[in-house]
Amino acid sequence: MGWKAFSLALRLLSPVHIGAGAEGNLQRTRPYVTGKALWGALTARLARDCPDLRGDYAEAGRRVHAELALSYLYPTGGEEKPLWPWGQTADAFRWRFLGSVASTAIDPSAGGAHEGSLHEIEHISPVTRDAQPVILRGYIFCAEGSQLPWPEVLPRLQLGGERGYGWGRVEVERLEEVGSERVLFGMYDADPGSWPPVVTARGRGDGEAWLLAHALAVDVEDPGGPRRACSGLSGPVEPLVGRETGAAGAFGARLSPVRVAWVPGTPVSGGTRFRIGPYGLWEGV
């Protein structure tokens, strides 16, 4: 099965928070939008808006997995290529792109805040500190024959957490079909006949390549079959775990399986191949 690849640019209209754990009372954000966060936003919007799905979130999620392969989205301030973690130091990036909001829960009976409820939520800001609009850039691969109307729902996506406060809203800056060469910001070539897509890091003569998503560091057994760890990498790894919603009214009641993965930004040698799996995680071929 083949596919079509699309370059995607979404302009942030409000802050976006992609949870990365807590430090004290600070809820940290990742400096990018994960494939799982994009999958969740697409699933929710398609389930609500697509007549064929009729509010069936489980079926919508299954079809997104089956018919789309997602990249992570990286913030830029007018640049065509992301700056994190390759074009700026971490401190310079955080100063330019990240902000935070402090809040607390109010106890009406006491006329003040609930004890211990003060917290701060870090976010990717919709405007940089040098007054540039923030654009999230990435890629979506769509399987041949897919009938999902995903381009139609992009303007109504809400990404990440705190959506009840209006966070995570976007508008489409650009969506255009691209070829199979020099995809993923020019760092990779893609096999046009593979599904899910297989991408190959370009050689050093064309510039350095890095992981643009988390990549499995340990083999895993999924209900859909075994998924291979990526070989030839070295660097920091981290566990990936989150909460998933199953039955109605059980929001976040189920823990997702733990995955151990190399982190985005890990250097990659030319010729290394990866398959883009569920939630945008990369796996071995």
Q: Tell me the per-residue pLDDT of 168-220, one tens digit each, with 9 for 90 and over.
A: 999 999 999 999 999 999 999 999 999 999 999 996 555 578 999 999 999 99
pLDDT at residue 83, rounded to an integer? 85
User: Regarding predicted confidence, which is higher, 81 or 238?
Assistant: 238
* Average pLDDT value for the chain: 89
Q: How many residues does the chain have?
A: 285
Domain final residue pick, 178, 200, 216: 178
Whether residues 28 and 129 share a domain: the answer is: yes
> How many distinct structural domains can be found in the chain?
2
Whether residues 86 and 144 share a domain: the answer is: yes
> What's the CATH code of the domain at 75?
3.30.70
Residue 263 CA to residue 32 CA, distance in Å, equals: 12
Domain final residue pick, 162, 178, 194: 178
pLDDT at residue 213, rounded to an integer? 97
**pLDDT tens by residue, 144-164:** 999 999 999 999 999 999 999
- Over 60: is that where the pLDDT of 285 sits? yes
- Over 70: is that where the pLDDT of 86 sits? yes
pLDDT at residue 253, rounded to an integer? 60
Domain final residue pick, 129, 149, 178: 178
Q: Band of the pLDDT at 240, cuts 50, 70, 90?
A: very high
Q: Band of the pLDDT at 22, cuts 50, 70, 90?
A: confident
Residue 72's nearest CA partner among 55, 90, 58, 85 is: 85
Whether residues 24 and 156 share a domain: the answer is: yes
Whether residues 173 and 215 share a domain: the answer is: no
pLDDT at residue 247, rounded to an integer? 53
pLDDT at residue 78, rounded to an integer? 83
Whether residues 167 and 238 share a domain: the answer is: no
Instruction: Print the domain residue range for 101.
Output: 1-105+113-178
Whether residues 143 and 47 share a domain: the answer is: yes
Whether residues 64 and 196 share a domain: the answer is: no
- The H helix count followed by the E strand count for the chain is 4, 24
- Over 90: is that where the pLDDT of 107 sits? no
**pLDDT tens by residue, 43-73:** 999 999 999 998 999 999 999 999 999 999 9
Angle made by CA atoms 266, 80, 188, in degrees to the nearest 5 = 45
Whether residues 173 and 40 share a domain: the answer is: yes
Instruction: State mean pLDDT over 111-124.
Output: 71
Whether residues 143 and 207 share a domain: the answer is: no
Whether residues 58 and 152 share a domain: the answer is: yes
- Over 60: is that where the pLDDT of 113 sits? no
Q: Which helix (H) or strand (E) holds 205?
A: none
Residue 8's nearest CA partner among 106, 154, 133, 113 is: 154
Instruction: State mean pLDDT over 73-91.
Output: 87
| Percent of the chain at pLDDT exceeding 70 | 88
Q: Band of the pLDDT at 114, cuts 50, 70, 90?
A: low
Decide the pairing of beta strands 188-190 and 225-227: unpaired
**pLDDT tens by residue, 125-142:** 999 999 999 999 999 999
Whether residues 238 and 131 share a domain: the answer is: no
pLDDT at residue 81, rounded to an integer? 87
Residue 134 CA to residue 126 CA, distance in Å, equals: 5
- Over 80: is that where the pLDDT of 254 sits? no
Whether residues 13 and 87 share a domain: the answer is: yes
